Structures are given as structure tokens and as C-alpha cells.
Amino acid sequence: MPKGHEGRRLTLMPVPDAPAIKVEHLSKTYRILRREDQSSSAAEALIKRARQRRAPRRRETFEALDDVSFEVPWGEVVGIVGRNGAGKSTLLKILNRITAPSKGRIELGGRVGSLLEVGTGFHPELTGRENVYLNGTLLGMRRKEIKSRFDSIVDFAGTERFLDTQVKRYSTGMYIRLAFAVAAHLESEILAVDEVLAVGDSDFQAKCLRKMREVARDGRTVLVVSHQLQTVSDIASSALFMEQGHLMLHGTVEEALEAYKRSFAREAPLLREATHRPGTGEIRLVEAKVADDITKPGNEVVIEFTVGANPSFGNRYHLSCLLNNEDGMVIAQCDSRVADFFLDPSTDVSGQLRITTPWLKPGAYTVDLSIYSGGHATDLWEQACRFQVLPVTPYPFPTTPDATDHGVVFPQFEYTQI
């Protein structure tokens, strides 16, 4: 290997006795422009270039991954958990050879099939049918092998009517269904799945979870990145907990999830300072709180927020809120786009989000708030605020505890006799 390239070596090792994945001292460093050197428009960039023609642009380094090492045996489903910016997605991109490591070594015991962010792996100008064959070819499969699995892929995805349509015409849900079906059925030895399954409907998510368990039973290896702790708990046999580019723990699912939860409590005070939060930073939340931090089931939850102005930022933006229970399960997502609610960055904004249903069961809840513009997150504030729901029932008729023990919310319902 040429000198200077020792840290960029990815080796495919189809050795039966070797682990499915072996990662040694893996690091990934990005060079980024300092914020004050970045330009928000083409005109501003030209002016800066004219004024500072001889001045070197100052760059900072960002360690997305730092000295990560672990091994994964065959037949395991490994959950990867961590807060935003922990390095989870970067790790999967390196394993999929989408990006190269800065240092370290990876040994893969077979081919990697992946479902990462929407848009990765498919050519938008090709039809669904053509992309199935393209993906199989990239995995080293013969056309006959792909054809033998083609009907299973189409049946799983439920996209038969649109097979001869260019995938750029697909909705996000259609794209995800076909992409997962291709990744799971083309029988790569290693399957890597990022958070994108969160965009599917509940029936399809359940079908995907069953398929990942089936893949592992066949002796193949599955890597799953998810913020849904319940998903990791349901399907994973071991887990990695990552924090700020470091692998903090590789152990049982219970150990990793507990470490993940503790990290929130430890970092919550620090995240009140906007500069410590992920996001591009042009628009930031200044304050967030729950109007009543102690409430009862059936009461509406009112989240109050303030966003700082940035008159030089030309695009309008929207908000997204995730409501999480104490097990880390996302109970609800409230995205302002579905209410056609967008905000102007030219002035400070104070507002409210009112959540009227579902009725929340007793326990502790946390609120994640995010700001997005043009498909990019400008601020990601995990556990921006929290509240407690008291252990009382919202129903008018008392009964024994087994009548309300199950489920994650109290539904509002009625029975009728016909």
C-alpha cells in the first residue's frame, strides 16, 4: 500500500471463522470553515474574496469518530444508540464505503447491504425495476440471482404498480419500502439500517422488524441505528452506545440503553447553551419550557418556545417536536409543516405548541425541539424541557389496575351496542 494511505484501508474478508465486522482504531476527521469565514450568499462570497484575496481561510477540525474499535460476530442484531452528533451515521457510511476513514482499519466478512438516508443507493433517473437490478449488480450478484428474488422484493415492498416509474417520482414512503426490500432480500451478508425506517407506516415498520430478525436467524449480521429505544430493545441482541464520536460502551442492550439515558441527564444543563447543540446554527431556539410541568392525564400539554432572529437568513423555517416517555420511546411527533406553520427569521418569535391528544399515562416525559430550513437542521435541542404526569385516571369509572396497565397512552374511546 502506498505510503500515507495506511489509515484508509477497508478489507473484505470472506473467512468463515472471522467476525462479521472488525473495526480497529477507526477515526473520521472533517475540516470545516469557521462560522465567521462562511458566506450566506454568492455576493457576500465574492466581496469577501476580493477583500481577503491573500488571507488564508481558517478551518477547524471536527472529529466525527475518534479511535473506535469493536467486533461483531455473525448472526447478531446490533443496535447503535447515541445522541445527535454521536457519530452513528458516520460509522455506517464508512462501513458502507460511502465515505473513507481518516485513520483505522475495517475488516468485513461479506457484502454490506444498506438503507441509510433517503436517496442513498438508488439512481433517481432509473425506474424501480432498474434500481433493483443495479443494486444487485453492485453487490456482485448475477442477473439470474437477482431475478430469482425479484418477486419477493416487489411483494414485500408493495410497489408493483410503480416498478416502471422513475424513483425520483416516488413518495418518501414508496422509496423507503422498495429500498428496504432490496437491502433485505438481496442477501448481502451484512445489513445496515439507519433511522430512515421511522418514516414508514406502523404496519411496514413491524414487517421490517420481523424481516431483520429473520435475517439474523439466517446467520447474517444486522446493524440498526435508531432513536426509538423500544425498537432497539425489541430486536437487538447487543448494542453500541456512542457519544461525541467515541464508543463509550459495547455490551448488552440493557447496559447500552441505560448509559444512553444517563447521558441525557448529564448533558441537559449544557445543552441550554445553544453553541453546545448540533445544527448549522443560523436560527436557534433561545428558550423552551412546558407551561405546567406537573399535569394530569387528559390535560393538554402546552410547550412555550422562543426563537432568535437572524435577518440575514433569507429562508423561512419550521419547527418539529418529539414527545418521549421515560423509556426513550417517541410517543408523538408534532411537525409544524403538517399544520402549514412556517416562521420568518427576520424577527424574534415567541409561540406555543398545544398537544390535546393522546391522553398521556402517568410518568416522566421529555420534549425534543428542532428547527429546520431547506432540509437542514439549524438547531437540535434534545430534552429541551420535561414534565410529569400524575398517577390518576382520566376515566369516570374506577376499576382495577389491570384495566389500564397496558399501552403507552390512555385512549379516548367509547363502546356502543348495535
* Averaged pLDDT, groups of 10, the chain, 418 residues long: 42 62 94 58 61 62 91 93 87 90 92 74 88 84 88 89 90 83 84 72 78 87 85 89 93 91 78 87 94 92 95 92 86 92 95 92 93 92 92 83 84 83
Domain limits, CATH 2.70.50.60, in the chain? 277-395
Q: What tens digit of pLDDT does each residue of 263-288 get?
A: 877 777 778 888 888 899 999 999 99
The class (CATH top level) of 277-395 is mainly beta
- Cross-sheet strand order for the sheet of 9-12: 9-12, 103-108, 21-33, 59-72
In 3D space, the residue among 94, 326, 92 whose CA is nearest the CA of residue 191 turns out to be 92
Q: What per-residue confidence (pLDDT) applies to 202?
A: 67
Q: What per-residue confidence (pLDDT) applies to 310?
A: 94
Q: What per-residue confidence (pLDDT) applies to 120?
A: 64
Domain limits, CATH 3.40.50.300, in the chain? 10-36+54-261
Q: What per-residue confidence (pLDDT) applies to 3?
A: 40
Q: Please report how many Cα atoms fall inside a 13 Å half-sphere around the Cα of residue 224, on the Cβ side.
A: 31
Residue ranges of E strands in 154-245 = 190-193, 221-225, 238-243
Q: Where are the alpha helices (DSSP H) in 196-297?
A: 202-217, 229-235, 253-271
Distance CA 381, CA 336 (A): 16
Mean pLDDT of the chain: 84
Distance CA 109, CA 307 (A): 48
Look up the pTM and report it: 0.69
Q: What per-residue confidence (pLDDT) applies to 57?
A: 60
In CATH terms, the fold of domain 10-36+54-261 is: Rossmann fold (3.40.50)
Q: What per-residue confidence (pLDDT) applies to 368?
A: 94
Q: What per-residue confidence (pLDDT) applies to 320?
A: 95
Q: What per-residue confidence (pLDDT) applies to 370?
A: 96
Helix (H) or strand (E) holding 45: helix 42-51
